[in-house]
């Protein structure tokens, strides 16, 4: 029986501080590999590996396709790429966004659960919405362990709280204790202190990799249900997938959403359409103003101009009143 030797850490807004604390507490001879997936803009420049290398004794670098996982190293998902580990070898994927993110925490957790099973320790840190909840459930089904940053200790509690809801038996830990706790779960001694949970039949969920065709053919029929909901990313129909304690949605193009992420994506889509409507009304008013000076039929365009202007103004004011900037924006 192989000891636990794969740690997957995921987070978003407010997660750098606890991640740095965790990195500082991990020992130089850690008997496992650490995979880190953080939400970051696809075109951003990430200095996370160098920051983590300075924070603790383990060397950190952006993961590169083809390199094999080695103990005592930290592999960071680069901007714009999902991090997968088929057979213990890094694979970077430009597959569809999951929970509106690329890289996404769910993708790395699902890949680790599929290929390493009960050798995985998952850690979900501070962040908004629910990325990481499905992945945490898959890790548990595969026999791995799940830790979350104590929601009350997190700058943004949504991600750890969602993971706790998906995995009621997950361990909630303060940021300052994460490194020590994770270290104690790895290796042969970790199996004595933290015995493996009873095995369950894991769901074979493949996300964002070359085997993922979006059709969910690898899941039992009873776990999926076609809905009348449209994907906010592409407009295709969404399929609802019900696992133990957690539900997610995905379309045939491979876009995937947890319930909170789907609601947020739909709200953004509706807002974008409303802003398009404001622009169309403003153009209608501008056209009426322009034609008023050229019209020789005697038709008065004032009412049309006034109506369009009033509607655009009311709609724009309503949008401004409803918009609430978030820390992840």
CA distance 116 to 87: 8
Q: Which residue in 113, 109, 115, 107 sits closest to 89, CA to CA?
A: 115
Q: How far apart are CA 109 and CA 132, in angstroms?
A: 7
82 forms beta bridges with: 93
> Annotated active-site positions, please?
12, 39, 131
Return the SS3 of 55. helix
> CA 252 to CA 241: how far, in whole Å?
13
Do 257 and 99 touch, CB atoms closer than 8 A?
yes
CB 260 within 8 Å of CB 252: no
User: Contact 175/17 with Cβ under 8 angstroms?
Assistant: yes
Distance CA 259, CA 262 (A): 5
Q: Taking a C-beta distance cutoff of 8 angstroms, is the pair 159, 167 a contact? A: no
Report the SS3 class of residue 223: helix
Residue 269 CA to residue 292 CA, distance in Å, equals: 35
Angle between helix 105-116 and 133-141 (nearest 10): 10
* Under 8 Å between Cβ of 115 and 87: yes
- What separation in angstroms does the CA of 14 have from each of 79, 96, 135, 205, 301? 18, 25, 20, 28, 53
């Amino acid at each position: 029986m192989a000891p636990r030797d794969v740690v997957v850490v995921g987070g978003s807004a407010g997660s750098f501080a606890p991640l740095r604390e965790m990195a500082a507490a991990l020992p130089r001879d850690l008997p496992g590999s650490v995979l880190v997936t953080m939400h970051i803009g696809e075109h951003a420049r990430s200095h996370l590996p160098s920051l983590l290398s300075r924070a603790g004794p383990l060397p950190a670098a952006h993961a590169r396709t083809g390199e094999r996982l080695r103990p005592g190293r930290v592999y960071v998902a680069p901007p714009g790429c999902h991090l997968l580990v088929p057979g213990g070898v890094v694979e970077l994927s430009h597959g569809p966004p999951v929970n509106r993110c690329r890289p996404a925490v769910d993708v790395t957790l699902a890949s680790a659960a599929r290929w390493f099973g009960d050798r995985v320790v998952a850690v979900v840190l501070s962040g908004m919405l629910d990325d990481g909840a499905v992945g945490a459930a898959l890790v548990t089904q595969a026999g791995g362990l799940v830790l979350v940053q104590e929601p009350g200790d997190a700058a943004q509690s949504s991600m750890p709280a969602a993971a706790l809801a998906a995995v009621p038996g997950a361990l909630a830990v303060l940021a300052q204790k994460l490194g020590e706790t994770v270290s104690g779960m790895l290796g042969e001694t970790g199996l004595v202190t933290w015995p493996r949970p009873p095995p369950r039949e894991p769901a074979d969920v493949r996300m964002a990799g070359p085997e993922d065709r979006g059709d969910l053919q690898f899941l039992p029929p009873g776990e999926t249900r076609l809905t009348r909901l449209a994907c906010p990313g592409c407009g295709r129909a969404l399929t609802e997938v019900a696992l133990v304690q957690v539900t997610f949605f995905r379309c045939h193009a491979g876009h995937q959403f947890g319930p909170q992420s789907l609601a947020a994506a739909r709200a953004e889509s509706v807002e974008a359409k409303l802003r398009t409507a404001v622009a169309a009304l403003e153009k209608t008013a501008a056209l009426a103003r322009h034609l008023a000076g050229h019209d020789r039929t005697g038709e008065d365009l004032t009412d049309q101009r006034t109506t369009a202007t009033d509607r655009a103004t009311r709609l724009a004011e309503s949008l401004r009143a409803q918009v609430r900037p978030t820390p992840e924006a």
